[in-house]
């Protein structure tokens, strides 16, 4: 979102559309993370990160585990420690366990300027000394929120409809922060609600959105794919892989054989 606003400010029109996955623009209602983040905590984290330049994977993962302690801490300890039952690792669990380290400056600016100060939506966020604003983005947006999101509550994600000055297609899907996004076609018990809001349309509050928009069974991915097709130009052939002139040939077609290994 920051990149799109920066490009718009610089009159860079390479973006034909913008897709936001469980992304908050306004942080006045940030959700359960608010329990862990205040000015004193940010000072503490900055001191920890300054010593080595980043926030460690274990610290990052621990914060998200505490957000869902009933599911990710206590019930897991009961199953694995007390009952000796190892839970079968599925693809989503493996991906979720692959935590990342966060660079000091990136994490500090995110927590202080966005999470605590809400600088972006309130017009105080500068890039290269120039102010950027959400309203500068003219490319149509597709924003996705998930019903059970404990990191970015869907009501907060939905606020993009109020602040954007362009067409926004908002999609609310079943599931949580990760599982709701990774919802391939054929996934059981999935439904979504979708509506397109234009700048001059009447704003529907979150509660009215849930009541007024008819749910659709299945994954939201096909609807997103169609939206992308409607807002994209002609297909472009991707560049060839490898470097034949240097004798570097691809071993196999993208994305590679590793995706087929179970």
The set of residues, in sequence order, having a beta carbon less than 8 Å from that of 83 and lying 6+ positions away, is none
Check residue 188 and give its pLDDT.
80
Which of 5-19, 56-70, 120-134, 161-175 bottoms out in mean pLDDT, i.e. has the lowest? 56-70
Q: If you average pLDDT over residues 175-183, what whole number do you get?
A: 88
Average model confidence (pLDDT) for the chain? Answer: 84
> What confidence score (pLDDT) does residue 89 get?
65
* CA–CA dist 133, 143 (Å, integer): 17
pTM: 0.79
Residue 67: is its pLDDT beyond 60? no
* pLDDT on residue 66: 43
The alpha-carbon radius of gyration of the chain (Å, integer) is 21
Q: What pLDDT shows up at residue 20?
A: 97
Q: C-alpha distances in angstroms, 225 versus 219, 222, 228, 229, 235?
A: 11, 5, 5, 6, 14
Question: What does each C-alpha distance from 171 to 47, 183, 203, 213 come to in angstroms?
Answer: 39, 13, 15, 10
Q: Which residue has the higher pLDDT, 75 or 176?
A: 176
pLDDT, tens digit, 9 for 90 and up, residues 211-255: 999 999 999 999 999 999 999 988 888 777 788 888 888 888 777
């Amino acid at each position: 979102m920051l990149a799109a606003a920066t490009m718009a400010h610089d009159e860079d029109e390479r973006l034909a559309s913008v897709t936001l996955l469980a992304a908050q623009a306004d942080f006045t209602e940030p959700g359960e993370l608010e329990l862990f983040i205040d000015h004193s905590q940010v000072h503490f984290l900055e001191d920890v990160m300054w010593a080595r330049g980043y926030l460690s994977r274990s610290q990052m993962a621990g914060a998200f585990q505490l957000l869902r302690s009933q599911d990710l801490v206590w019930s897991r300890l009961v199953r694995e420690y007390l009952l000796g039952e190892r839970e079968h690792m599925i693809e989503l669990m493996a991906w979720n366990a692959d935590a990342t380290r966060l660079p000091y400056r990136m994490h500090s600016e995110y927590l202080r300027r966005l999470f605590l100060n809400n600088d972006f939506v309130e017009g105080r966020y500068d890039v290269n000394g120039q102010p950027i604003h959400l309203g500068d983005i003219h490319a149509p947006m597709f924003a996705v929120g998930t019903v059970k999101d404990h990191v970015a509550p869907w009501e907060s994600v939905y606020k993009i409809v109020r602040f954007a000055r362009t067409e926004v297609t908002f999609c609310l899907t079943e599931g949580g922060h990760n599982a709701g996004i990774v919802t391939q076609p054929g996934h059981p018990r999935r439904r979504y609600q979708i509506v397109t809001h234009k700048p001059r349309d009447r704003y529907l509050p979150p509660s009215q959105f849930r009541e007024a928009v008819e749910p659709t069974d299945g994954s939201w991915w096909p609807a997103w794919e169609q939206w992308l097709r409607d807002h994209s130009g002609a297909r472009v052939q991707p560049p060839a892989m490898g470097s034949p002139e240097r004798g570097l040939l691809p071993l196999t077609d993208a994305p590679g054989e590793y995706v087929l290994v179970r």
